[in-house]
Structure 1
Amino acid sequence: MHRARLRKALTHTAAVLTAATALVVLTGSGASAADYGNQVRFTLAQADWYPGDYMVSITEESGENVELLLQTDGNLVIYNYYGTPMWASGTNGKGVTHLDWSQSGYAKLLNSGNGVVCTLGALKPSPGGFADLDATGSLDFYDINSNLRWSSGNTDITPSTLDYCYT
C-alpha cells in the first residue's frame, strides 16, 4: 500500500514538473504549452510550430499526460502517458519543416518553400475556431460555435488509424 501511494505521489510530481517545464518553454517560444486539467484549448490562429514544439495535456485525477509533438522528422504525433503513439500525421520523411495553425480553421504541415505537404481538418474547416488536445489523447478542431469539425479519432489507450493527411 505504501509503495502504491509513493508511486502515485511521484507520478503526480513528475506531471507537475512536466507542466512547469512546458510553461517555461511557452514563455520563451510561444509555441509550446501545457495544461493541468482535462484538455489544452488553443486558437487555430496561433504562431507556427517548428520541430520540437509541443503541447501537453495532464489529467487532473491521475497526473498522466498526453503530448502533441512536431517531431524533427516532420511527423505530428500524439503520444500517451506511456510514450506510445496514439495518432500521427504520417508525414515523417516528407520534407515537413513547420506547422501552420491556419486562421481558416485547420492546420497545414508545410515544407521549406511553404508548400503544403499535409492538411488536417481542411475538408471541414472551422474559421475562428479552436482546437483541444484532451486528456484521452484526441486532437479535436471546433468551429466558432463549439461544433466539432475534425478529430484525430483516438480515445483513451486506443490508437486511431494513422495518417490523416489531405493534400
Structure 2
Amino acid sequence: FKQIEQIEDKWEDFDIPSSVIFDPMNVANLIVGYVSGDLVRYDIEKGEYNWNQYSQRQQKKQQQQISPLEMWREDLRLQLASECFFTSSTYLQFDRLIAAGTNRGKVNIYDLRMGDKGFVRIVGESNPFSFHQSMFGESVTKIVAHPIHPILVTSGADGNIKVFSSNP
C-alpha cells in the first residue's frame, strides 16, 4: 500500500484522533474518533468535515461564550482529563451500527443515522464483568463484528477476549 492522501486534522486544534473507520453508509466518508470522545464524519472526496459530530461532552458547555484562550485551555483540559476516549471501532453490518471501544473497557454502540442522538447503548452494561479491565491506560484493543451474524468480539489489554451476541 502507498499513501494517496493525508488528511489534515482541522476538527479540533488540540484533540488527537484515536480511531478511524470507513463510514458504512457512505464509503466516501471516514468516521474519526478523538481522544476527547467525539466522533466526526470526514468526506474524503470533498476533503472536508461534513460537521456531523457525535460528542460525549455536555452540550451546555459548548454553547457558552468564551474567549479563544479559554477555549484552548478547556480543550487541553478535556484531553488531559478525558474520562473516555475511543481505542478501536468497527461496523456491525447486521444492525448498521458502529461499535466503538473505549479506554474504560466499555464498548459504545452508535447509530449514525440518528445524528447527534446516535448513542444507542453500552455493550453488556447490565453485567460489569463484561467490561475489560484497564491495563497501562488501555483496555479495549480491538473490536471485530461477524459479517452476517449478530456477534461482536473484543480483545483487551487485560488479556481477555470477550464475545457478545445481540440474540437472547
Same fold at TM > 0.5: no
More strand by share: 2
Q: Taking structure 2 as the reference length, what is the TM-score of the superposition?
A: 0.33
Q: Taking structure 1 as the reference length, what is the TM-score of the superposition?
A: 0.33
Higher RCO, Cα 8 Å, sep 6+: 1
